[in-house]
């Protein structure tokens, strides 16, 4: 039976890379949806309600600002990573994410997909610049990112990665933050696509069950 995966476009290239050769039906949502978690949750529920003929559906999301809480499965098992956002998935594990977070709490994480999305810092900055001009935009972004110390780009080895790395460096320059690079790992994303889906890494909701916010890692 065909596997259905509903995913954020930020991880599109990584998901397609580990799914090579498999019969999987992907549906990608724009990263900008995360700006409105409640609306994203409603959209995800609408998509789930409309699915038939699947024994398992996978959400390639995290809790994502509460968007995934209270989502209800239909006539299938609903699987979602036990994480708050996509960063642990790109780094390979929650433990790897915790290590980087301990090194510097004020980190803005970027990746190829993140820098390529309309909801990236550059896209939002340009829209703000067009609306308010340079001086006000500079003040707005200085305030928005005052708690950040660095931009950390996660390498995942996808094609044309250097192009996205340069965009990440531009974000660091734009926000006047130190720019660093770390090596990601596709092992978590591989498990997300190909299984198995152990309880320590994934939430597996039975048919007609509901995702509770408490199921995610703190």
The 8-class DSSP code of residue 159 comes to T
Whether the CB-CB separation of 183 and 116 falls below 8 Å is answered with no
Residue 6 CB contacts under 8 Å (≥ 6 apart), including other chains: 26, 27, 29, 44, 47, 48, 57, 58, 59, 60, 61
- Which pLDDT score, from 0 to 100, does residue 161 have? 94
Q: Provide CATH 3.40.50 ranges for the chain.
A: 3-84+187-215
**For every one of its 218 residues, what pLDDT tens digit does the chain have, with 9 covering 90 and above?**
679 999 999 999 999 999 977 889 999 998 878 788 999 999 999 999 999 999 999 999 999 999 999 999 999 999 999 999 999 999 999 999 999 999 999 999 999 999 887 667 777 888 888 899 988 988 898 899 999 999 999 999 998 999 999 999 989 998 999 999 999 999 999 999 999 999 999 999 999 999 999 999 75
Distance of alpha carbon 97 from alpha carbon 170, whole angstroms? 23
Q: Tell me, what's the pLDDT at 129? A: 84
Helix, coil or strand: residue 187: helix
DSSP letter at 72 equals B
Decide which of 1.10.150, 1.20.1530, 3.30.450, 3.40.50 is the CATH code for 3-84+187-215: 3.40.50
**Torsion sign over Cα 205, 197, 101, 140:** negative
């Amino acid at each position: 039976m065909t596997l259905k995966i509903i995913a954020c476009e930020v991880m599109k290239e990584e998901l397609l890379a580990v799914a090579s050769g498999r019969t999987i039906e992907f549906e990608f949502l724009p990263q900008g949806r995360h700006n409105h978690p409640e609306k994203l949750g409603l959209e995800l529920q609408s998509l789930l309600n409309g699915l038939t003929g699947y024994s398992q559906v996978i959400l390639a999301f995290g809790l994502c600002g509460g968007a995934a809480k209270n989502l209800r499965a239909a006539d299938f098992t609903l699987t979602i990573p036990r994480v708050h956002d996509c960063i642990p998935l790109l780094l390979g594990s929650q433990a790897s994410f915790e290590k980087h977070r301990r090194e510097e709490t004020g980190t803005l994480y970027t990746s190829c997909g993140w820098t390529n999305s309309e909801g990236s810092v550059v896209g939002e900055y340009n829209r703000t610049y067009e609306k308010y001009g340079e001086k006000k935009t500079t003040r707005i972004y200085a305030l928005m990112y005052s708690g950040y110390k660095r931009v950390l780009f996660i390498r995942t080895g996808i094609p044309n990665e250097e192009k996205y790395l340069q965009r990440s460096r531009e974000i660091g320059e734009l926000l006047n933050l130190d720019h660093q690079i770390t090596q990601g790992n596709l092992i978590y994303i591989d498990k997300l696509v190909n299984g198995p889906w152990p309880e320590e890494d994934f939430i597996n909701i039975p048919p007609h069950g509901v995702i509770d916010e408490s199921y995610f890692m703190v």
